[in-house]
Structure 1
Amino acid sequence: MSINPILDASCAIKVHTLAASFALTLGPFIFTPKARGKLHKTLGYIWIFAMATTAISSFFIHSFQLFWVFSPIHFLSIFVLFGLCRAFWFIRNGNVTGHARTMLGMYWYGVIAAGIFTLLPGRMLNRAFFPETPWLGYVVIAFGSLLIIRHIRRQTAGLIG
């Protein structure tokens, strides 16, 4: 493991990586069933700030361009910013279920799913975590994809059955 690819990256990538790492780490403390009340609210605001910082900073990263200066990750960033507003609106209007589903969806798809694809060989985090064996990124992506599929199946099991 080498931190050099992160240290050598642009300021936007450093901010994006730090904010995303913070959101990833903070998520489990917020999304536990017993984490309600003042601590949940305080950590939630910090998580929202981290997610907004992650999304906004992505618009200054143009290392992978598919549509003009934008990539699919920029569309995810728009989804995250919209989701943050939506979740805030839900909780302000007393829709706890809508708030929880929106926030969990952003965590699973905006943090976990997007995060595992940063480990593709050739990407900065792959070079940081697997400098000698970049193919291990595929292993992590496969394992992460299985976790996401498991999560989706659990979520839809109640709707189907």
Structure 2
Amino acid sequence: MLRLSWLISLGISLLGFLLIGQLFTMKPQDNSGNFGFIGVVFVMPFLILSLFTTFRYFLTLSRNSRDHMLRAVSIVGGVLLIGVFVYFSIDFQQNVLSTLGEITTDPNLPLLNEYTHKIFFNFYTFGLIHTILGVLGAIIGLARPRNTMGE
């Protein structure tokens, strides 16, 4: 049941996370603001729930696993996946900033705007934050035995 709730929350928050990028590119009729911030407000509770469920899923999974070698390999694999996501995030950020050129140096634009939203709301960022919490949950699940967690 925990796996199903994790997959459902992951799917809903990923869909919302990627939808925010589309809302940032929409132009309102009267130049009054940006629809992306409305999307952030509505997606944030789902993202927080998804992050909590990811942490909880990997915490439970690592505590219930009996194979110590599998635990170690999964944590090392998670750390490697974090490295891959960091590499692709940095590469993606540099590509976006290089294509924008002069726009990013304008002091009147905020850091998160209709041009730079892709840096913050993309699949790499989503995967990175979920992988970090998954590895943290697995490490904490290894460090604390079941009886000290209160379950």
Could you state the TM-score of these two structures normalised by the residue count of structure 1? 0.36
Structure with bigger RCO (C-alpha 8 Å, 6+ apart): 2
Could you state the TM-score of these two structures normalised by the residue count of structure 2? 0.38
Q: Which is greater in Rg?
A: 2
